């Protein structure tokens, strides 16, 4: 897809924002360190024998969290970045409220071969860090509801993995949603497939045109995944290896209520996917410069923009243009003290690992700002959940009506 020439200047100004991907540590290694504002959170260096395992904050909702990985193959198109591969292969994770979790292990933040490749790519000595564990229990039985549960799709930042915003994904699941996270192969950093191979980025050097093309690819991935979810909900098994699925998945998805959110380029993909596919009812862009026809065409369905401290309609013309063309419910928020990667798991993992990685102290402000990471998580969880509650479940807690004293860090941008 050719970019709109009128957008070239703002798009180029947004490229730096796009490439700061929301996958923890990968962006951080060698370029960032703990900001003084939360130096108390930084853990001291450890020996390999006492390797640090960073932790993610637990979700706060009442539902237990289950998760299952799926290997999906789109035989209708070749891989867009590696044309020699005749089919498009994706890995996704299906996160869902679980009926029980006893006996089901916690899923790692990255699977073993992907974590090993991450260590290699990052120059980390093997064992210097242990992979974080999520709160998702592998293959736990599904806690079904008679009419199914609303579904939310997630697309990470450019170069990010499907686990990049686990703190938000798990929160939504604990509040009753099914969340499907997508690895966009050869755009994502390390994608492990069931046969043990790990696919790594294979995109051309980043330009506005390549970024726009990446959004196109992500939209195609998203639409394919939605079709596979329909198969799954009807009792089929779309997993390429036909691995056993958790008990209770059939009919567990309410595909008449679908939302999508993403960070950085994933936020742009959420907007464009809504434009191209009316199956998606509501969307959220977390600090992503926008690309594609949706900027000029706008949307007639609910959409929320959440920007970092230095990013908004006053600094990103794609946001200003998109905002002016929105015809449905809309809201623009700004998280005070945040930076681009505040909208990913970087915000909680980086302060814990900076000591191990021996990173300089100043650069972290460019990645996760000065806001306390726990406050950043609390704000995002509250507002993203409230958005989907309102527009997918018609539950209004009025948090989106006006600024709240409970979350003074979240600014409403008129």
Residue 116 has pLDDT above 50, yes or no: yes
- CA 98/CA 135 separation, integer angstroms: 11
End-to-end CA separation in angstroms for the chain: 33
Rounded average pLDDT over 234-261: 98
Task: Kindly tell me the sign of the dihedral angle through the C-alpha atoms of 55, 366, 20, 118.
Answer: negative
What is the pLDDT of the chain when averaged over all its residues? Answer: 89
Give tens-digit pLDDT for 310-330.
999 999 999 999 999 999 999
Q: How confident is the model at residue 246 (pLDDT cuts 50, 70, 90)?
A: very high
Q: How confident is the model at residue 24 (pLDDT cuts 50, 70, 90)?
A: very low
Give tens-digit pLDDT for 331-343.
999 999 999 999 9
Q: How confident is the model at residue 122 (pLDDT cuts 50, 70, 90)?
A: confident
CATH number of 5-412: 3.40.50.1820
- Please say whether the beta carbons of 33 and 361 come within 8 A: yes
Cα 137 to Cα 64, 104, 109, 273: the distances in Å are: 9, 5, 12, 29
pLDDT, position 1: 35
pLDDT, position 131: 96
Three-class secondary structure of residue 348 per DSSP: helix
pLDDT, position 51: 85
Give tens-digit pLDDT for 341-366.
999 999 999 989 887 777 777 777 77
- Please say whether the beta carbons of 283 and 261 come within 8 A: yes
Give tens-digit pLDDT for 151-188.
999 999 999 999 999 999 999 999 999 999 999 999 99
Task: Kindly tell me the sign of the dihedral angle through the C-alpha atoms of 54, 58, 64, 67.
Answer: negative
Place of tokens 């959110």: 261
- CA 356/CA 84 separation, integer angstroms: 40
Its pTM stands at 0.90
Three-class secondary structure of residue 207 per DSSP: coil
Give tens-digit pLDDT for 274-315.
999 999 999 999 999 999 999 999 999 999 999 999 999 999
Give the CA angle between residues 339, 404, 308 to the nearest 5°: 10
Alpha helices in 38-155 (DSSP H): 112-122
Give tens-digit pLDDT for 193-225.
999 999 999 999 999 999 999 999 999 999 999
What's the half-sphere exposure (Cβ side, CA atoms, 13 Å) at 64? Answer: 17
CB within 8 Å of 47: residues ≥ 6 apart: none
pLDDT, position 16: 39
Helix axes 317-324, 8-19, angle to 10 degrees: 110
Residue 44 has pLDDT above 50, yes or no: no
pLDDT, position 187: 97
- CA 395/CA 374 separation, integer angstroms: 26
Residue 10 has pLDDT above 70, yes or no: no
- CA 125/CA 392 separation, integer angstroms: 45
Low-confidence winner among 25-29, 164-168, 230-234, 402-406 (lowest mean pLDDT):
25-29
- CA 85/CA 73 separation, integer angstroms: 12
Cα 306 to Cα 119, 365, 384, 401: the distances in Å are: 32, 18, 9, 15
Rounded average pLDDT over 379-407: 98
Domain chopping of the chain, boundaries: 5-412
In percent, the amount of the chain with pLDDT more than 90 equals 80
Higher pLDDT, 61 or 25: 61
Does an H or E element contain 95, and which? Answer: strand 88-98
Give tens-digit pLDDT for 218-243.
999 999 999 999 999 999 999 999 99
Tokens of 177: 């949603």
Per DSSP, which regions of 176-302 are E strands?
178-183, 191-192, 198-199, 253-263, 282-286
- Please say whether the beta carbons of 374 and 338 come within 8 A: no
Question: Which among 150, 153, 171 is positioned nearest to 393, based on CA atoms?
Answer: 150
Higher pLDDT, 10 or 138: 138
> Any bridge partners for residue 178, and if so which?
151
pLDDT, position 354: 80
- CA 68/CA 29 separation, integer angstroms: 29
Question: Which among 181, 183, 169, 162 is positioned nearest to 97, based on CA atoms?
Answer: 169
Q: Is 196 exposed, middle or buried (0-12, 13-18, 19+ CB in 10 A)?
A: exposed
């Amino acid at each position: 897809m050719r970019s709109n020439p009128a957008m070239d200047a703002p798009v180029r100004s947004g490229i730096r924002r796009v490439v700061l991907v929301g996958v923890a540590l990968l962006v951080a290694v060698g370029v960032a360190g703990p900001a003084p504002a939360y130096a108390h959170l930084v853990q001291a260096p450890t020996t390999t024998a006492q390797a640090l395992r960073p932790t993610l904050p637990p979700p706060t909702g009442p539902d237990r969290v289950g998760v299952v990985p799926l290997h999906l193959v789109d035989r209708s198109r070749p891989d867009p970045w590696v044309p020699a591969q005749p089919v498009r292969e994706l890995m996704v994770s299906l996160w869902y409220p679980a009926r029980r979790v006893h006996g089901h292990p916690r899923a790692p933040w990255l699977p073993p071969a992907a974590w090993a490749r991450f260590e290699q790519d990052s120059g980390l000595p093997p064992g210097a860090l242990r992979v974080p564990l999520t709160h998702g229990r592998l293959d736990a039985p599904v806690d079904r509801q008679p009419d199914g549960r609303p579904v939310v799709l997630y697309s990470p930042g450019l170069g990010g993995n499907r686990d990049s915003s686990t703190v938000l994904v798990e929160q939504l699941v604990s509040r009753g949603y099914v969340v499907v996270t997508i690895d966009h192969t050869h755009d994502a950093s390390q994608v492990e497939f069931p046969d043990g191979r790990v696919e790594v980025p294979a995109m051309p050097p980043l330009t506005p045109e390549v970024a726009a093309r990446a959004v196109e690819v992500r939209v195609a991935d998203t639409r394919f995944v939605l079709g596979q979810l329909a198969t799954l909900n009807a009792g089929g098994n779309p997993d390429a290896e036909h691995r056993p699925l958790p008990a209770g998945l059939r009919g567990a998805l309410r595909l008449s209520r679908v939302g999508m959110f993403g960070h950085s380029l994933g936020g742009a993909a959420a907007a464009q996917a809504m434009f191209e596919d009316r199956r998606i009812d509501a969307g959220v862009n977390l600090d992503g410069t926008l690309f594609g026809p949706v900027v000029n065409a706008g949307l007639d369905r609910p959409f929320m923009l959440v920007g970092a401290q230095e990013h908004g309609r006053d600094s990103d013309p794609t946001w200003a243009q998109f905002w002016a063309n929105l015809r449905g419910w809309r809201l623009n928020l700004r998280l005070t003290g945040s930076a681009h990667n505040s909208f990913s798991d970087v915000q909680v993992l980086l302060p814990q690992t900076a000591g191990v990685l021996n990173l300089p102290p100043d650069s972290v402000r460019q990645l996760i700002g000065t806001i306390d990471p726990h406050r950043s998580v609390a704000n995002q969880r509250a507002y993203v959940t409230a958005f989907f509650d309102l527009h997918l479940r018609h539950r209004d807690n009025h948090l989106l009506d006006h600024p709240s004293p409970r979350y003074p860090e979240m600014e409403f941008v008129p």
